[in-house]
């Protein structure tokens, strides 16, 4: 746009990031962007995290993921957040929402990953609730899905704690998975 300066663009980007940042009781959820490459890489070097994702991220794949995340926020208004402790700034994990296709329909899918040394402290539940709230209140979606390995009992428990219900087993990308969903409550429902 004519007359716009780099300063204008930086201010616009800063305001957009602030609007997409979420604060929970213990966490600051920042929209993923190129500044998060190092933290994405470190999170996915954790042996127990990598086991559930089937691989470790390389530095280059972390960079691509961060760039893709920023593009998702810019183009769709939704993608992943990096999760940091509000008090210490320490990396806790990542979570967020992505548009995906299921049964020929566009769906909003939520996911989370927490550093294994922080498992069992309720962080995934906190991230999941924030994501579902964002989907319903900010994006206006009426349903959110989640998919996990059938044996990932911790993730399935989080899905249930945030109000999701088991739907069915599915095969996606050649892998058997478990599908959960939550619908936005109607007026007067909780």
Give me the domain span that covers residue 104.
Answer: 19-183
Tell whether 169 is covered by a domain: yes
pTM for this prediction: 0.85
- CA quadruple 70, 52, 89, 135: dihedral sign: positive
Residue 40 falls within a domain, yes or no?
yes
Say if CB 177 and CB 147 are below 8 A apart. yes
- Residue 53 maps to a domain: yes
Q: Is 5 within the bounds of a domain?
A: no
State pLDDT tens for residues 34-47: 999 999 999 888 88
**Angle at Cα 91 formed by Cα 90 and Cα 94, nearest 5°?**
150
- Is residue 28 situated within a structural domain? yes
Q: Are 68 and 31 in contact (CB under 8 A)?
A: no
How far apart CA 33 and CA 31 sit, in angstroms, is 6
Tens digits of residue pLDDT in 67-87: 999 999 999 899 999 999 999
Number of domains in the chain: 1
Residue 130, in any domain of the structure: yes
Residue 34: which CATH number? 3.40.630.30
């Amino acid at each position: 746009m004519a007359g716009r300066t780099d300063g204008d663009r930086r201010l616009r980007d800063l305001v957009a990031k602030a609007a997409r940042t979420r604060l929970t009781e213990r966490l600051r959820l920042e929209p993923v962007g190129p500044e998060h490459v190092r933290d994405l890489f470190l999170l996915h070097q954790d042996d127990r995290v990598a086991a559930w994702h089937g691989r470790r991220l390389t530095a280059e794949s972390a960079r691509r993921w961060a760039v893709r995340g920023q593009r998702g926020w810019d183009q769709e208004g939704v993608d992943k957040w990096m999760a940091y402790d509000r008090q210490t700034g320490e990396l806790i994990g990542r979570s967020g929402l992505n548009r995906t296709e299921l049964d020929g329909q566009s769906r909003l899918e939520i996911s989370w990953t927490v550093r294994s040394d922080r498992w069992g402290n309720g962080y995934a539940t906190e991230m999941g609730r924030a994501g579902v709230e964002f989907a319903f209140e900010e994006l206006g979606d009426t349903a959110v899905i989640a998919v996990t390995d059938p044996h990932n009992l911790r993730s399935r428990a989080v899905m249930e704690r945030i109000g999701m219900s088991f739907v069915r087993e599915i095969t996606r990308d050649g892998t058997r998975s478990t599908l959960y969903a939550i619908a936005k409550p109607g007026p007067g429902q909780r």
